[in-house]
Structure 1
Amino acid sequence: MTGGRSGAIGGVEWQTSLLAKWFAARGWRVSMLTWDEGGPPEEVIDGVRVIKICRRDAGLPGLRFFHPKWTGLVRAMRAADADVYYQNCGECVTGQMALWCRRSSRPFVFSAASDADCDPHLPELRTRRERVLYRYGLRQADRVIVQTLTQQRRMRECFGRDAVVIPMPCPGPGDGQFQLPSPQTERVLWIGRVRPVKRPDRFLDLAAACPELQFDLVGPLFQDDCCQMIQRRAVTLSNLTVHGPVPRDRLGAVYQRAAVLCCTSDYEGFPNTFLEAWSYGLPIVSTFDPDGLIASRQLGVVVKDVAEMAQAIRALLSSPDRYRQMSENARRYYLQNHTLEVVMPRFEALFREVAAQVRERRAES
């Protein structure tokens, strides 16, 4: 189960689906709980049992939170009858799942999706109900997983929870398909959800500041104020192409056309786009640096604002030797830390451990 408000498929949902399919292929009985967006109430996809909770807009306003959403979640969790329940991204569902697991003596594992889940102000949770339920779920979780050492420290300082760091998995090109990128393409890529916290407006400012370069913005566009502003400004920039959403099976070609990935966010967790870019050997120029990895491992350049971003990109693209070194560093870091072969066994070991501990507690009681 993954959290979040938008309903769009992003890094959290993609990584959770990777986990589900990998475990199913290993012989685990895997169920995934989702909103009902059509089709039968249950179906099996790639070996994973998909159980629909209800439609996101089902029920009466003011009451739908309790029925059919909460009651549907309980029904789906009961139907899954799992040995371990896993949820990614802090929200009210964190507490709802933890409560059911506690009453049913089932282990619950929570995974933080971003730094916002480790912030005591919980900036992504707008209502008191969401914040109360999330804090409860965090307290009751049998294990908490985070993506970075910074998140681990913040979980301990701000919520009194010990957490285990497990990098997120990311499939990428094998050695036979991999080619080092070239700075000569002079294409700068931005990819993600077009949301205010991602600051896509900075990317447009960057395109305006660097008319000699080409810029590609990839991500779903909705009818909210942020997306409409981006679309209005984009038509005034001849060197910017807004692609909208790109199917996952075509994303590889998008990364291969680029010379640099650009991140303009105020905060993140450990963006899936970073892992994908590094799997293709792309350096990253970013306002956000998880655990200081970009700077310390020379995987790109960390900047504070658009002016520094423009300077860093120009310097990198005009320095072939430095570019090649960062590209090789990026690919090496990905292979050592984020392939499915490296990451998935760590999740499997944790799930086995927590399931065994809960079984022992049951036996003792």
Structure 2
Amino acid sequence: MTVIESTGKKSRRICMLNYYAWGVIADLDGKKVHIGGEEVQHALMSRYLAKSGLDVTSVVGDFGQQALEQVSGVKVRKTFKKTAGLPGLRFFAPRLTSTWAAMRAADADVYYVSCAGANVGIAAAFCQRHKRRLVFRIASDSDCAPDTLLLSGSRDRMLYHYGLRRADAILAQTDKQAELLMKNYGLHADVAGMFSDVPETILAPAARATDLLWLANMRSMKRPEWFVDIVRKVPDLVCEMAGGAHPEELDLYARVEQGAASLPNLRFHGQVKFGSTRKLFANARIFVNTSSFEGFPNTYLQAWANGVPVVATFDPDGIIKRLGLGVAVADIDGAVAAARALLADPAELAACSARCRDYAVARLAPETVAAPYLSALLA
């Protein structure tokens, strides 16, 4: 029996929009395609929904693939290349026209978008025109207030606000996001967890070779240079760092890469395929996050699924501190002290690793995570 059958609700056609998701769906080289947390969530969720019995279409960008592909039961329709069209006009053709055409070809009953941006408004206009349902999921705390939106252009901000107010259902990653959305927009959101792969077996912390791992896209809010400073303070530890350059912050990536090159105890991978991140987490004792703000990082889920405690400057809904899934810290010195304390106490590190693994097994089961999504999509 499929999950859809067990809910007692009729099957629906679902269309999901995410321009860069093809990079995760096809496991492309991350140096050629930007890959972030939302792309990972899009790929994992679309795969699960298709496996559950839904007819799922993923609308993505043009990265040289066929116009229509089928991967893991998901139909993938491509839209436009970022460089296509004339400056000043390319938003309308081919970006708007090709996205609209792909959505029409999907002929879905409900359309799903995550992350603040123009696509929220585009999807809302399409759904209004064709009398279809729209589900939007918040991807970051910054999506929840006009003053913190990571959208520089007035057009994208306008389209986001237009779509946000017309969504039939809104999902949030955390209670904090739901509270911020209500405070700043007067809109209700249900909290929905995140999808993650949970390996069947893991190594004991003592059997792993990497003491500290940092992995994220290199954006200012992620503060990757903080990790370089952390590594500089722990020359006796084996450290690894991975993540790609953000198109708008190439200088930051260059500075971090240069700083990493001066540290003999730090292996700098740069951008890696999503499939390759599994090996990095499987071999790490501690995962370090240095962000000033986030949504709910996919990397936390990957870490906990592999029994890896998280030492972090961002603690969503206080979950790290509350459940003992690592150590929440405020700054570089705090991260160094927390990491050293865990590594100096093998018994506590093993106990913390076990708590992380238990949390993942109990809370990250796909049928558990999927429940609020199915409720919104099949309403």
TM-score by length of 1: 0.92
* Corresponding residue number in structure 2 for 1:170: 196
- What is the one-letter code of the residue matched to 2:327? V
Q: CA deviation at 1:184?
A: 7.3
- What is the one-letter code of the residue matched to 1:191? L
342-351 or 4-13, which deviates more: 4-13
* Corresponding residue number in structure 1 for 2:237: 213
Instruction: Tell me how far apart the structure 1 counterparts of residues 20 and 219 of structure 2 sit (CA, whole Å).
Output: 13
1:311-346 CA deviation, whole Å, 9 max, x = no partner?
Answer: 111111112232222111111211222221321243
254-263 or 122-131, which deviates more: 122-131
Instruction: Tell me how far apart the structure 1 counterparts of residues 67 and 19 of structure 2 sit (CA, whole Å).
Output: 20
**Equivalence map 1:1-365=2 (5 Å):** 1-2=17-18, 8-174=34-200, 177-182=201-206, 185=209, 187-221=211-245, 224-353=250-379
* Corresponding residue number in structure 2 for 1:360: none
- What is the one-letter code of the residue matched to 1:150? K
RMSD: 1.9
* Corresponding residue number in structure 2 for 1:363: none
Instruction: Percent identity, please.
Output: 37
Would the alpha carbon gap of residues 307 and 4 (structure 1) be closer, same or farther in structure 2, given more than 3 Å must change? farther
Instruction: Tell me how far apart the structure 1 counterparts of residues 176 and 123 of structure 2 sit (CA, whole Å).
Output: 26
CA contact (8 A) 1:183 1:320 kept: no
- What is the one-letter code of the residue matched to 1:219? G
CA contact (8 A) 1:186 1:317 kept: no
Q: Secondary structure at the match of 1:182?
A: helix
* Corresponding residue number in structure 2 for 1:357: none
Instruction: Tell me how far apart the structure 2 counterparts of residues 178 and 349 of structure 1 sit (CA, whole Å).
Output: 33
1:198-248 CA deviation, whole Å, 9 max, x = no partner?
Answer: 110000000111111121001124681011101111111111110123333
333-342 or 258-267, which deviates more: 333-342
Q: Secondary structure at the match of 2:148?
A: coil
- What is the one-letter code of the residue matched to 1:73? T
Q: CA deviation at 1:185?
A: 4.3
- What is the one-letter code of the residue matched to 2:345? S
Q: Secondary structure at the match of 1:121?
A: helix
CA contact (8 A) 1:84 1:107 kept: yes
Instruction: Tell me how far apart the structure 1 counterparts of residues 91 and 276 of structure 2 sit (CA, whole Å).
Output: 37
1:74-100 CA deviation, whole Å, 9 max, x = no partner?
Answer: 111111100110011110111111111
Instruction: Tell me how far apart the structure 2 counterparts of residues 247 and 62 of structure 1 sit (CA, whole Å).
Output: 33
- What is the one-letter code of the residue matched to 1:157? K
Q: CA deviation at 1:24?
A: 1.6
Instruction: Tell me how far apart the structure 2 counterparts of residues 240 and 178 of structure 1 sit (CA, whole Å).
Output: 24
1:239-295 CA deviation, whole Å, 9 max, x = no partner?
Answer: 111012333333232112211000001111111000000001110000000000001
CA contact (8 A) 1:4 1:90 kept: no
- What is the one-letter code of the residue matched to 1:228? A
CA contact (8 A) 1:122 1:131 kept: no
Instruction: Tell me how far apart the structure 2 counterparts of residues 116 and 302 of structure 1 sit (CA, whole Å).
Output: 20
- What is the one-letter code of the residue matched to 1:314? R
Instruction: Tell me how far apart the structure 1 counterparts of residues 270 and 255 of structure 2 sit (CA, whole Å).
Output: 14
